[in-house]
Amino acid sequence: MSGWRRDMSRSRPRPQPLWLRVEVDQFAAQALQVAAPALEGVPFGVVRQRDDSHKASLYAVSRCARDRGAEPGMPVFVARRKVGRGLRVLPRDGKVESAVRGTLKAVYDEWTPEPVADRTAAWLDLSGTPISRDTGWDDIGPRLLARLKEASGLRELAVGVSASRVVAQILARQALPDGVITCAVGQEQAQLATVDADSLPGLASACRERAHMYGLDGVDQLLDLDRATLVRRFGKQEGGRIFGLVRGLASEPRRSSSVDIEAETVLRADVNDESLLHEAVRLTADRATHELRRARQVARGVRLLLVYSDNRRAQKTVRLPASTDAFRRIGAASLAAFDELHVRRVALKSIQVAALRTSPATGQRDLFDGVGQHKERRLGAALTELRERLGFDAVVPGGSLSLDRE
């Protein structure tokens, strides 16, 4: 039997790293086209606000509309001048987008046990997976692209393939709106050296501006600087990040047990009425609280983000006295942040509330909770259960109904 013993002194070689980055351009428009094939060849744009408002701006555009000059973020009336009267303006359809996103997620799950997907992009770590062993390096990207298109019905997707996570993301963006770019093993550094500094992912806008001020427009220039120089010019956090990015060393982002839970209310029309905006903040905080309870989490902080009609943004973070999932506390903190933050006389386009520093709900009660707090918890639990069965919009604050009439 001794001949069958495995030699434990020898460790198995680590599998070759293999990262795939998937990005979907103009996802909201492509999803509508999947649901309504008659839109094929029709120039149209998707808006988040009222589709009959001349102040609305395009959130996503079809390929046909983009070929005629329409771009995301462009006001509808400007897009009509460029495209013509044939431009159709459609509202965003969350249900259709969710269905297409679910189809994409099912394909990701076929390829790797733990894909990381968000609204319009996904990471697939195929290192050591059966697909990576059975498929050639140059064939794996086209194979995934074909499978995603076949399953989802989307026409345009971009895939980047590399042993470096950083390079895979850069290549996926270069492949937009449709295509595959693969970096051969061992060529990651040579590929990075040809990229401009603006293409590096995850850098703050202030960091990019500072790089331009120093005349550092290419990755090859940043490679000539050591870590100490980068930290001195860009700060400890950004300088260290740049040092890793330009060498392809930035691996998987740091994992945290804290997951930010966000909720957003897009106003049907730009609003400057104080009472209506207060109702919108309450509704958004209520939605964030609902998502927090569904995830069985409590939050220690709240972030409020305001987007104005001129696309400027303002945000404020509030720390809560204790971790909570109570709408009364989260709503009050959101309203207080709004009253302090909203000082511009410009109409608002959307409001976002995020629950920060979340942790699993343990059911632990406050020592000084009374009958009122006990009733509040029971009411919140019943409301969450009802909304999980019928949807969030089944029960909403009465004041928020006026938002639909705007």
260 vs 315, residue with greater confidence:
315
Same domain (yes/no): 173, 215: no
Residue 253 clears pLDDT 90, i.e. is over it: no
Q: Which residues pair with 196 in a beta bridge?
A: 218
Range of the domain at 240: 195-245
Structural tokens at position 384 = 């969450």
Does residue 224 have a pLDDT over 60? yes
Task: State the Cα–Cα distance between residues 195 and 171, nearest whole angstrom.
Answer: 10
The pLDDT of residue 102:
93
Give the model's pLDDT for residue 219.
80
Q: Using CA atoms, how far apart are residues 261 and 147, in angstroms rounded to an integer? A: 31
Query: Which CATH number does the domain housing residue 232 bear?
Result: 1.10.150
Q: Whole-prediction pTM value?
A: 0.72
Q: For residue range 370-394, what is the model confidence (pLDDT) as tens digits?
A: 666 667 777 777 777 777 777 777 7
Distances (CA, A) of 151 to 107, 114, 176, 388: 8, 19, 20, 28
Same domain, 131 and 173: yes
DSSP secondary structure string for all residues of 362-375: --PPPTT--HHHHH
Per-residue confidence (pLDDT) for residue 52, from 0 to 100: 65
Looking at the fold, whether 221 and 314 belong to one and the same domain comes out as: no
Instruction: Provide the pLDDT for residue 366.
Output: 64
Give the pLDDT confidence score for residue 10 in this predicted structure. Answer: 61
Indicate whether 71 and 148 sit together in one domain.
yes
Same domain, 75 and 29: yes
Write out the two tokens for 84: 């013509």
Q: Are residues 168 and 19 in the same domain?
A: yes
**Does the residue 190 lie in any domain?**
no
Structure token pair of residue 309: 């009609």
- pLDDT over 70 at 398, yes or no: no
Is residue 102 in a domain?
Answer: yes
pLDDT at 369: 65
> What is the reported pLDDT for 5?
62
Find the angle CA(55)-CA(342)-CA(348) to the nearest 5 degrees: 15
Instruction: Find the mean pLDDT for residues 318-331.
Output: 88
pLDDT of residue 240: 83
Calpha distance 243→67 (Å, rounded): 38
Q: What is the mean pLDDT of residues 301-326?
A: 88
Q: Both 267 and 232 in a single domain? A: no
Residue 402: pLDDT band with limits 50, 70, 90? low
Q: Return the closest-CA partner of residue 357 out of 292, 309, 281, 305.
A: 292
- Closest by CA position to 264, among listed 72, 55, 48, 24: 48
Q: Are 220 and 340 found together in one domain?
A: no
Structurally, the chain folds into a number of domains equal to: 3
Q: Are both 217 and 163 inside the same structural domain?
A: no
Note whether residue 45 is domain-resident.
yes
- Rounded CA gap, 25 and 7, in Å? 50
List, for residues 33-80, the tens digit of each pLDDT value: 999 999 998 999 999 877 666 667 898 999 999 999 999 988 888 999
Cβ atoms 289, 327 nearer than 8 A = yes
Secondary element (H or E) of residue 400: none
CB 366 within 8 A of CB 320: no
